[in-house]
Structure 1
Amino acid sequence: MVNSRMTVAIHVLCLLAYVRGTENVTSDYIAGSVNTNPVVIRRLLASLRKAGIVSSQGGSTGGWSLSRPPESISLLDIYRLLEPGDLFAMHNKKPNPRCPIGREIQDSIGVYYQRAEQGLERELAGVTIADVLGSVRASIGE
């Protein structure tokens, strides 16, 4: 199933990288940037915190910040954290083994799925939050 969790996570991490070292950012502020409910952001941030990518500080000056430099957070890190499992799913039920196609389809197509996923992972491994933020900054003229 395709969802937007990874896109939202990249948005959040770019925002935190953008303000890095100047302020902690509240989940309400982040939710306003993403244009979603703060609860969605808090759940996502909890996953990112558990993985050691972000940290939080309580109190009146509290909020969220990156735990690691943006250059060290690859899109593959985020992908593996938020999209566990195979990118492509096989049938929910085992196809009919008496059918010549049913008997072999999963093994045959699995090879192509594996190559596609490896290509995706190679591409994501080569891009960091710093890279994405650099693209955003270039787009806004910074």
Structure 2
Amino acid sequence: MARSTNTQFAVAVHVLTYLADVTEGRTVSSEELSESTNVNAVYVRRVLGPLRDAGLVRSRPGIHGGWQLTVDAADIRLDRVWSLLQGTDRVLGRHEPAPTCAVGRTVQGSLDTLDRTVADAMTTELGRFTVRDVLRGLPTPKPSPQGE
């Protein structure tokens, strides 16, 4: 099964949850967040930039600088985090068919419709959860019955 290569949302949720859990108002360095997420500190800062611009976190430069939450974890809905990082980017992958292929033109229009449908459904589902919910542990979803 193919995996998404865009990890920004996952890293953002991890970092926001980490800040909500361990900081108690403490400023956390990018390096500490990097160790927790197992990604480069530059990547952590890149992911946190849009969240800072939206007012969810703040950063302080300098030797004792770092990151802090500015909003209660219960008020940070995951659909907002997704929108800040994903924007209007496509959810489903896409290819470019041969320009002369009539089937390809039809498929692309259908894929665009599916992409909007999937993106809307995902945003709706993410809107049901907050960073606090993640911190407390989400229940494992029940598998949906196949063939319905």
TM-score, normalised with respect to structure 2: 0.76
Q: In 2 relative to 1, CA 66–94 (structure 1 residues): closer, same or farther, beyond 3 Å?
A: farther
Match in the other structure for 2:146: none
SS at 2:137 equivalent: helix
SS at 1:55 equivalent: strand
Structure 1 range deviating more: 121-130 or 80-89: 80-89
Confirm or deny that 1:56 pairs with 2:37.
Answer: no
SS at 1:116 equivalent: helix
Letter in 2 for 1:41: V
Which residue among 80, 85, 88 is the counterpart of 2:83?
80
- Figure out how many residues of one structure are paired with residues of the other and give that number: 135
Q: In 2 relative to 1, CA 103–39 (structure 1 residues): closer, same or farther, beyond 3 Å?
A: closer
Confirm or deny that 1:133 pairs with 2:135.
Answer: yes
Report the alpha carbon displacement of residue 90 of structure 1 after superposing the two structures with TM: 3.9
1:100-115 to 2 correspondences below 5 Å = 101-115=103-117
CA deviation string 1:54-75 (max 9, x = no partner): 0023455432111111112111
Report the alpha carbon displacement of residue 22 of structure 1 after superposing the two structures with TM: 3.7
1:16-95 to 2 correspondences below 5 Å = 16-59=19-62, 61-84=64-87, 85-92=89-96, 95=99
Q: Distance in 1 between matches of 2:22 and 2:125?
A: 26
Report the alpha carbon displacement of residue 21 of structure 1 after superposing the two structures with TM: 3.4
Q: Distance in 1 between matches of 2:25 and 2:120?
A: 38
Match in the other structure for 2:118: 116
Stretches of structure 2 that go unaligned for 5 or more consecutive residues are 140-148
Which residue among 88, 91, 96 is the counterpart of 2:100?
96
Q: Distance in 1 between matches of 2:108 and 2:33?
A: 42
Larger % of helix: which?
1
Percent of aligned pairs sharing the same letter: 33
Stretches of structure 1 that go unaligned for 5 or more consecutive residues are none
Confirm or deny that 1:2 pairs with 2:12.
Answer: no
Is residue 97–residue 104 contact of structure 2 (8 Å, CA) maintained in 1?
Answer: no
Letter in 1 for 2:91: L
What is the root-mean-square deviation in Å for CA atoms of aligned residues?
2.4
